[in-house]
Amino acid sequence: MTTNSSEAESDGVVRNLSKPELVTLALGELGADHHPVDTEDVAVKARELAPTAFAWRLYPQHINLELVRVALVDASRVKSGSLVQGRGRGGWMLTDQGVAWLQVNRDRLLIALGRSSGPGGVKIKQPETQHRERERIRLTRSDAWRKWSSGSVASVAEASNVFRIDQYTSEHNRLAKVRTLRQLFTGDSDLDRFLLEMAALIQTGE
């Protein structure tokens, strides 16, 4: 039997759910597998999911942003599984571990909150689209693909062009671009291996 969120909460903590889990879920619902999300947006979504979990003690109608920030930092720690990454003004994103963890645990978390576990949040696989086909053509015509297909080694610059990143791309946006493109070709063994190797080349070449 499911319970509603107000019944499931006690002393500001949702029963059987930790605050790091709540903010990780909030990030997933906000699409933070693809782009960074501001702390305030995480706070609003977390309040929507669990109305009193991050509330002030004396003024429960207000969100305690510091509690949300601390929960995000905790969720980024190894002891919590390194589920998120980010700091301050740059926003927060799910790590690869966080994406994988939510794919397994999202339904459980939503049910614990008395909410439907219907479509939303982190997507595992996207359907074939015109955008995917345009990207396939672009990738298979790239210098990096030509070298990779022939067994040669692409340069860091050529690998960066695969993901449309340059020296001015922030760390968060770099991660988002790599992850988005890789997810676009999930299930395509050749392109998946190619993109994995290009991502590794960028990382080791920095």
Residues 113-152 have pLDDT tens digits of: 887 655 555 443 333 456 778 888 889 999 999 999 999 9
Residues 110, 49: Cα–Cα separation, whole Å: 8
Whether residue 16 is contained in a domain is answered as: yes
Q: 69 in helix, strand or coil?
A: helix
- Arithmetic mean of pLDDT over the chain: 83
Residues 11 and 97 both lie in one domain = yes
Tell whether 125 is covered by a domain: no
94 & 157 share domain: no
The domain tally of the chain equals 2
Last residue of a domain, one of 84, 112, 140: 112
**Residue 120 located in a structural domain:** no
Residues 157 and 76 both lie in one domain: no
Does residue 101 sit in the same domain as residue 63? yes
99, two tokens: 């994406």
* 104 & 137 share domain: no
Quote the percentage of the chain above a pLDDT of 70: 83
- Domain span at residue 179 reads 130-205
Q: What percent of the chain has a predicted confidence (pLDDT) above 90?
A: 46
Within-domain flag for 119: no
pTM given for the model: 0.57
Tell me if 167 sits within 8 A of 118, measured CB to CB: no
> Is 121 inside a domain boundary?
no
Could you count the other beta carbons within 10 Å of the beta carbon of residue 167? 6
Residue 103 shares a structural domain with residue 139: no
Amino acid residing at 114: G
